């Protein structure tokens, strides 16, 4: 789970991408473990350096970060890596247990402390691009690798003030899939255009 928080830099908004591995119980929404509180061991390796214990190091904003997640049924380990364009690398491993069967994957931008919390924030005055996702691919247990437009079922999740109900105002939406289902982007909706049932295709009006 990547989380963007503001930093300080000559009075300007200078966000960093803080990377964490966080595991929740899907049924109860309880926090099971996190690299942020030390219950999941994590390592950080600066470009050209050696791996050290991760102490909160971050990626700079507007950089390309490659994320990979892999589960090994024989060892029960779910491993996660995030590497930026400069070569800085975050790694963490969660002991999920052997014999697990993962039948869903979620790729996108989270705005709260967990995937279910409706965040409170001040919307931008204009369309704002949050993130771009390229070369998104999933791999089945049988070794089949494909984009989000493969034979598996997929659907979009978008953020609104009513927890995705029809009466909530949409505050963040995503573009349609591009690059044969491997790419998409997420956007904040400006306050002047937030209203119910305003999803998906409107991201095309978000500009560059």
Is 153 found in the same domain as 70? no
User: What's the pLDDT at 78?
Assistant: 94
Tens of pLDDT along 117-143? 766 777 888 888 888 899 999 998 888
Is 91 found in the same domain as 125? no
User: What's the pLDDT at 151?
Assistant: 83
Is 168 found in the same domain as 96? no
User: What's the pLDDT at 129?
Assistant: 87
Is 78 found in the same domain as 3? yes
Tens of pLDDT along 34-77? 999 999 999 999 998 999 999 988 888 888 899 999 999 899 99
Whether pTM > 0.95 for this model: the answer is: no
CA 14, CA 64: separation in Å to the nearest integer?
Answer: 16
Domain end, chosen from 68, 102, 136, is at 102
Is 128 found in the same domain as 93? no
Tens of pLDDT along 14-39? 456 778 899 999 889 999 999 999 99
Tens of pLDDT along 62-115? 888 999 999 998 999 999 999 999 999 999 999 999 988 888 888 888 777 788
Beta strands in the chain (DSSP E): 2-5, 8-9, 12-13, 16-19, 22-24, 31-34, 42-45, 51-53, 58-60, 65-72, 77-84, 89-95, 128-133, 138-139, 145-146, 159-160, 170-174, 184-188
Domain end, chosen from 102, 129, 149, is at 102
User: What's the pLDDT at 206?
Assistant: 47
Quote the number of domains for the chain: 2
Is 1 found in the same domain as 92? yes
Full residue range of the structural domain in which residue 146 is found = 119-208
String of DSSP letters for 26-79:
TTT--EEEETTTTSS-EEEE-TTS-EEE-SS-EEETT--EEEEEEEETTTTEEE
């Amino acid at each position: 789970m990547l989380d963007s928080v503001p930093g300080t830099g000559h009075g300007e908004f200078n966000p960093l991408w803080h990377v964490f591995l966080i595991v929740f119980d899907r049924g109860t929404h309880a926090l099971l473990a996190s690299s942020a509180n030390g219950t999941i061991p994590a390592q950080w390796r600066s470009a050209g350096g050696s791996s050290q214990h991760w102490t909160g190091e971050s990626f700079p904003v507007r950089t390309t970060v490659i994320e990979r997640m892999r589960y090994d049924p024989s060892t029960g380990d779910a491993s996660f890596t995030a590497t930026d364009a400069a070569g800085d690398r975050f790694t963490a491993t969660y002991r999920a247990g052997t014999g697990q069967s993962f039948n869903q994957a979620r790729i996108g931008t989270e705005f709260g402390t967990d995937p279910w919390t409706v965040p409170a924030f001040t919307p931008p005055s204009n369309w704002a691009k949050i993130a771009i996702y390229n070369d998104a691919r999933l791999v089945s247990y049988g070794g089949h690798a494909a984009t989000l437009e493969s034979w598996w079922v997929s659907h979009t999740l978008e953020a609104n003030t009513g927890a995705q109900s029809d009466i909530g105002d949409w505050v963040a939406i995503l573009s349609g899939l591009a690059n044969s289902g491997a790419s998409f982007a997420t956007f904040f909706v400006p306050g002047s255009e937030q209203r119910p049932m305003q999803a998906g295709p409107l991201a095309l009006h978000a500009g560059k």
